[in-house]
Amino acid sequence: DPFADDPIRHPDLITRTLKPRNAETPEQALSAQFITPTELFYVRNHMWVPNLTQDEAEAHILTVELPDGTTKEYTLRDLKTKFPERKVTAVLQCSGNRRSHMSKGSGRATNGLQWEAGAISNASWEGVSLADVLADAGFDASAVRDGTSEAQHVQFSGMEAYGSSIPIKKAVDPQGDVLLAYGMNGKPLPRDHGYPLRSIVPGHVAARSVKWLRHITLSDEESPSQWQRKDYKCFGPNQTKVDWEAAPAIQELPVQSAITGVKLGDWTLSGQSASSNSARPSKEVTLNGYAYSGGGRAVIRVDVSLDDGKTWSQANLLPDQAPKVDGKAWSWKQWKFNGDIPLEAFKSPQDATSNQESDEDKNTIRRGAATRGANENAVTTKNNKKCTMVAIKATDEVYNTQPESHAATWNFRGNLATAWHRVQVCTDC
């Protein structure tokens, strides 16, 4: 059993598969801190987890291969001593994050792990600059700027067999901030996250941040791996038999957001004046979550609708807790919203089901019940239950925003599920 040696997982991670180990970050941890606690950072492994002792790790060799076939080797110790240490705080998001929302929201099955909104996390990464190492290995980055570079791609290979690549432009861009990282949140990388060395490609899909990194190849071609040439691509909603080569590999991520907490408060009277006849009962609601865009594009706004998209308000974006690097937003924005849902908005579930994502429905009921201090019994008091749909969407600094429906962006691989995040919120009226 190649998995017998896998590390122990934190019990709060939500396991999707055990062998290989895939687990998402629980909602609470997605919103509680700006930096996701290391032990709750989501895990996406295609194979087993390599196991190196500390001595083996220090002696671990990274080989860099130039287009002319010449190679240069660096031990982890070399990397740590020869190059200045750099630290970048960056989100990693799997291309499959929210895939289950796409499947349920569109009513069409998708291939792959049925992640909810927790295949994303934020951490600080410590290591050395890939651009520095490539220059030391003898690669002349000016050829990339001149357009005369033979190398067009930087291929990364992991110790198990996983591999993928990024465009050379990103690798040598001084503002690209690509790291060869050996640290995470101030400690050595844990085994699940690539010990002893991984690439970190901020702003790109996490599939390009290759763990247990052992080989870098500069080439005129993309990585030949299936993870570069196949799995992480998108197609149109009508395309199920596809020409893989016709679509580019996912690199920079589109804009994304999710609700990771819903709390219903008390009934209050709102209106022009609480004492006048026009006062209407409404239910206090508190929402929170994250928003993120690829390519270093900052999220500028998170819009919230308490009536499934008819009217909108704005969430408060919480202050960044990591400085932007060279003006690039590599981390997410966390957000919070307080509002009131008018009594009339709550409909019996039959009327409110048109767009519902059923298992989120369950979650929300659980949350609602918890905030009322009730227990799971509340779930069964179906007759009194009334629900409404809340929705959110984010916009980034170039005004890209999220699509309304998953049907419009459905693809059979279930990649890049970025439609408005809708959650059904229920109460006993």
> By the criterion CB under 5 A, which residues form the site for Mo ion?
44, 94, 207
The binder of ligand MTE chosen from 58, 78, 136, 160 (CB under 6 A): 160
Tell me how far, at minimum, the Cβ of 13 lies from ligand MTE, in Å: 11
Query: What is the SS3 assignment for 196-256?
Result: CCEEECCCECHHHCCCCEEEEEEECCCCCCHHHHHHCCCCCCCCCCCCHHHCCCCCECCCE
Query: Of 154 and 207, which has the nearer Cβ to Mo ion?
Result: 207
Q: Name residue, tokens 């070399």.
A: 78
Give the nearest residue (CB) to ligand MTE. Answer: 158
Q: Which of 130/250 has CB closer to Mo ion?
A: 250
Interface region with ligand MTE, contact rule CB under 6 A, candidates 3-11, 205-213, 362-370, 412-420: 205-213
Q: For 113-135, b where at least 16 C-beta lie within 10 A, e where not — what string?
A: bbbbbbbbbbbbbbbbbbbebbe
The residue among 104 and 214 lying less far from ligand MTE, judged by its C-beta, is 214
Q: Of 144, 133, 124, 96, give the one whose Cα is nearest residue 200.
A: 124
If binding is defined by CB under 6 A, does position 45 make contact with ligand MTE? Answer: yes
Our finding on whether 214 is near ligand MTE (CB under 6 A) is no
The reply on whether position 414 binds ligand MTE by CB under 6 A is no
Q: Which is nearer to Mo ion, 116 or 308 (CB)?
A: 116
- CA dist., res. 248 & res. 234, Å (int): 8
Segment contacting ligand MTE by CB under 6 A, of 142-150, 206-214, 258-266, 281-289: 206-214
Q: Which of 9, 10, 46, 80 is in the footprint of ligand MTE by CB under 6 A?
A: 46
Strand duo 213-219 + 61-65: pairing: parallel
Both tokens assigned to 419: 């439609």
74 binding partner (options Mo ion, ligand MTE, none; Cβ < 5 to 8 Å by kind): none
What does the block give as tokens for 113?
A: 């792990």
DSSP 325: B
Which residues, numbered 234-293, are part of the site for ligand MTE (CB under 6 A)?
A: none
**64 is an interface residue for ligand MTE by CB under 6 A:** no
Nearer to Mo ion, 115 or 335 (CB): 115
Provide the CA 161 distance to its chain's centre, in angstroms: 23
Residue 424 partner contact from Mo ion, ligand MTE, none using kind-dependent CB cut-offs of 5 to 8 Å:
none
Q: Give me the DSSP letters along 109-162.
A: --SS----TTSEEEEEEEEEEHHHHHHHTT--THHHHHT--S--EEEEEESSS-
Three-state secondary-structure class, residue 343 = helix
Query: What one-letter code names the amino acid at 115?
Result: W
Q: Residue 293 binds which one of ligand MTE, Mo ion, none, with CB within 5 to 8 A depending on kind?
A: none
Under the rule (CB under 6 A), what is the footprint of ligand MTE? 41-46, 92, 94, 158, 160, 162, 193, 206-207, 209-212
